[in-house]
Chains A and B, each alone.
Chain A
Amino acid sequence: MLRTENLRREYQIAGEAPLVAVRGASFSVADGEVLGLLGPNGAGKTTLLRILATIIPPTSGQCWIGDRNISDNPDHIRRHIGFLSGNTKLYGRLTGAEVLRYFGRLYDMSETSIEQRIIKLTQLLDMGDIIHRRCETLSTGQTQKVNLARVILHDPEVLILDEPTLGLDIITSQSVIEFIIHARERGHSIIFSTHYMDEAERLCDRIALIFKGAIMAIGTKKELFELTGADNVQDVFLSLVNEYKESDA
């Protein structure tokens, strides 16, 4: 369970007015729910997800994972979070297994449970022997599989995935989507961002539409269609953007 209240994030730029990247985001993601964060480039998706992953602090606002406030002890809260961004790479000179062992130790897992998890995740993600190859020799899709294994290695409550299918071919994208579906079945709360409308439509229980740092609307597909009178997510998005621009002007 993840819940946020009025999250705001500003960036100070030398000699200029502060840039607001996230303005007042409030939403929640239940256990076993997938929330899609949909928005164009520069909408503030990455900043919002980085705040949720406690990589950067919010300027104001609150966020809870379970009943723990992430600002209280960010270092501790990260045990319950799995974070992956689209451009995340792996340590090229280490093998997949070595990368997983490294992260397992950083998540304070015991050596035995690390090894057990590696065997289990190798089967789950169909990684076979790629886990024993150096990451620099892996293809983009294979790299992303090892990355997914890393994200779920410590069995976190919340998965935060920032454009996990960015730049992947159809087959690998599909395996990422299957991974997300599997994680939902296991009861993880998942928030993932994308700018592929169809992906969001297919996969998410609810969708949050974000533009210029503001969440314009949030709800199930049906709710969003009702809200705007459109019959696909793309039209919902465009009509909300127009509305937002008019009210901003």
Chain B
Amino acid sequence: MNYRRVYAIIRKEILDTLRDKRTLIMMVGVPVVLYPVLLVLGLQAALLQHTYLDERESRVAITGRDQEILLEWLEPITKLTVVTSEHPERDLMEGRVDALIGTQQNIQEVLGSGGSVVINIRFDNTEFSSMDAVSRIESALQKIFQELRLERLVKLNIEESYIRPLDIQRTNVAPPEKTTGSILGLILPMIMVLVIALGAFYPAVDITAGEKERGTFESLLSTPTTKLEIVTGKFITVFLLAVTTGVLNLASMAATTTYMASQLSTVVGDSQGFDFRLPIEAFYIIIIVIIPLGLLISAIMMSIAVMAKSFKEAQNYVTPFFLIILLPAILGGMPGTSLTPLSRFIPIYNVVLLFKELMMGKAGLDDVGAVFLSTMLFAILALQIAVWLFHREDVVLSEERGIPLTLNRKQLPKRVHLTPTMAVGLYCVLFLFLIYGGTAFQEYDLAKGILITQWGLLAIPTLLLVWFVKANFRAVFSLSMPQRWLHWPGALLMGLGAVILIIQVGIWQQQYLPAPTELEIIMEDLFALGKDTSGLFLLLLIIAFTPAVCEELLFRGALVSGFRQWLRPWGIVVVVGLLFGLFHISIYRLLPTAMLGMLLTFIVLRGGSIYPAMLVHICNNSLAVFLATERMPMFLYQFLGISPDMTDTIPNLRPVALFIAVLLFVSGVILMETGCRKPTKGNPTQKDTKSA
């Protein structure tokens, strides 16, 4: 890498960006002008209102009996005037009186007989002035109440402590900085994520998609600068501007809140146990976390923006990312969340947690290191993607043709495979079908719901899409027999081995991320069907056969077909596997299902046929049915080292079972590979095109 060139790019990009009004407004205008103005104006308005209410006399009318006594009680209260009213209820409703006080009892008589006088206060809780009047009345009456109680106790010769057997005293031991820390830990990280994203937004969009739109990219590409140098230079620029915006924003907020705090304390006095001002350590902490956060957000935003052809298009792509990163920021701020070995590695969420724990003085150096490291890893990954995208000429030179926006089937050309856009679009639409339609059907009736979801919401739309875009069914769904008959036993052996290994993965996961028991209870009702033989067949049809056909058509058919042009085979295996895992909409099932998805994708790509994958899918799901209905042969339970009744915590599988599983898997792979042609990336050959 030539650092002089990288430096030249950074220098130019910063100069260019700083001369852009949009960036300047975001970077400097918002923090330096808008916040203080808004906050100070808001504060002034609040103070004005507060002073007005505080100084205002409350007007109270007395109703009912013994008005003189009530008047006597109310008279010592400052800022309260007792007024007379002809129509007290109406005056209260119309705001001429702030509150009404009265009793229907003879006060002296009731008090004399040792009874309790019922005093009614009527008010309007939508009016601040009315609420103020009530609290003034109540605090005055509280004093009278205590005097009267003491009088009675003296008469009976009883100590006051006698009627207060428990004297509860609460003391908050949290030092003010901890209270501040926990409250700031809730708000500040979210604000930080937001301001950094805001700071990265315009530069990221402008120096990638903006440069493409302005037609200067080609000149840049014709210089000796490498793609890596271009990405590095641009990335460092986005990062620096994002962090600068973040720091400017935070500094402005800190200054404004300090000012607000001083203003507030002169009016309302110091609030106990909470210090509005940012503790000085907070600044060090902010610097520590702002760097990984800036790196990650800048890298991701750039990778997204470079895919767009114009500034406007890039804005549309990047905006959803804004909302997505806010979610982990909000979750991390919630009370009860803390850094764990797992959460240290969840991007953004981990930075927010680290911030919170540093503010409360709980996090150590190892936490800082782990969060820093994992965030850096994600940032590097995002940058790698950016570099990869910069290497793609269809991305950089904007020559991608996109999908023809026509709904007239006649105008569509015949094609062999789906395009990546079609595959992604299909997945997203079916995901929505599943969430909104599938869940509702399954809640109504689980068994019928699964059938409707699988056939009606997955299989049929997939087939319809392939028909509509005139793709080749045989090619898209890999509807040919495997290249070699050895692929059948190979796939089966791999499947068997993998299923056992996946069970073990599930057991490990259960130890770290125990699934809620509600999940099992829902499924239990369904599995109860399997008690008799005909029920068992029905269950196998619903849980084993149906998904094996429908899900395979979607995932190993349409999605694999769509990604063929985009990704190398291993990339398809990973992406389709992950998408398959995500489709099961459960964090507890993500890992095992994604692994199964990857395996099935591998089988299809290796053998060029969907049928072995369907078979393995059927076997896997049937095994789940047999396990759940406790119908597995006893020796298999013994072999695996688990008991049929799996209500308790399941122990790890027997080592020998795991060993045999690995053996099965490896021999399956060998059989699959034997005599296997090198898998083609799937760029359709001339022959394919003709057959289409």
Binding site for B on A (CB under 8 A): 11-18, 50, 53-56, 75-76, 78-79, 81-85, 87-94, 98, 102-103, 105-108, 147, 150
Contact = CB atoms under 8 A, between A and B. Distances in A.
Contacts of A17: 684, 686, 689
Given A14-B420, A15-B684, A17-B686, A91 B223 contact: no
A106 B417 contact: no
Contacts of B15: 93-94, 98
Given A12-B683, A16-B413, A78 B16 contact: no
Given A78-B224, A105-B8, A56 B393 contact: yes
A11 B20 CA distance: 37
A88 B415 contact: no
B8 A87 contact: no
Interface residues of B, number: 40
Contacts of B157: none
A56 B227 CA distance: 12
B417 A14 contact: yes
A85 B565 contact: no
B4 A105 contact: yes
A226 B83 CA distance: 117
B221 A55 contact: yes
B218 A83 contact: yes
A53 B220 CA distance: 12
A56 B397 CA distance: 9
Most B CB within 10 A of own CB, among A13, A14, A56:
A14
B218 A108 contact: no
Contact of B19 (A82, A88, A93): A93
B401 interface: yes
Contacts of A91: 12, 16, 214, 216
A17 B9 CA distance: 39
Given A14-B415, A105-B8, A108-B4, A78 B222 contact: yes
Contacts of B4: 105, 108
B164 to A, nearest CB: 75
B208 interface: no
A89 B216 CA distance: 5
A234 to B, nearest CB: 30
Contacts of B397: 50, 55-56
B303 interface: no
- Enumerate the 8 nearest inter-chain pairs by beta-carbon distance, A residue then B residue, closest first: A15-B415, A105-B8, A83-B222, A14-B419, A93-B19, A89-B215, A106-B223, A78-B224
A88 B216 contact: yes
A178 B33 CA distance: 53
B413 A76 contact: no
A83 B684 CA distance: 34
Contacts of B471: 15
B418 interface: yes
A18 B685 CA distance: 9
Contact of A107 (B223, B401, B413, B684): B223
B178 interface: no
A84 B222 CA distance: 9
A107 B224 contact: yes
Contact of A108 (B5, B416, B689): B5
B471 to A, nearest CB: 6
5 contacts: A55-B221, A78-B222, A81-B222, A87-B215, A88-B215
A88 B218 CA distance: 7
A15 B224 CA distance: 35
A115 B575 CA distance: 51
Contacts of A75: 224-226
B78 interface: no
Given A75-B224, A88-B218, A89-B215, A106 B565 contact: no
Interface string B652-692: 00000000000000000000000000000001101001001
Contacts of A79: 224
Nearest to B470: A15
B113 interface: no
B225 A106 contact: yes
Contacts of B161: none
Contacts of A54: 222
Interface in B295-311: none
A12 B225 contact: no
Interface string B186-224: 000000000000000000000000000011101111111
Interface in B125-153: none
B2 interface: yes
A183 B328 CA distance: 59
B20 A106 contact: no
Nearest to A87: B215
A12 to B, nearest CB: 6
Nearest to B562: A14
A108 B219 CA distance: 15
A14 B218 contact: no
Contacts of B220: 106
A106 B233 CA distance: 12
Nearest to A92: B214
A15 B475 CA distance: 10
A75 B230 CA distance: 12
Contact of A83 (B219, B393, B415): B219
B689 to A, nearest CB: 5
Given A55-B218, A55-B222, 4 more contacts: A15-B419, A84-B219, A105-B4, A105-B8
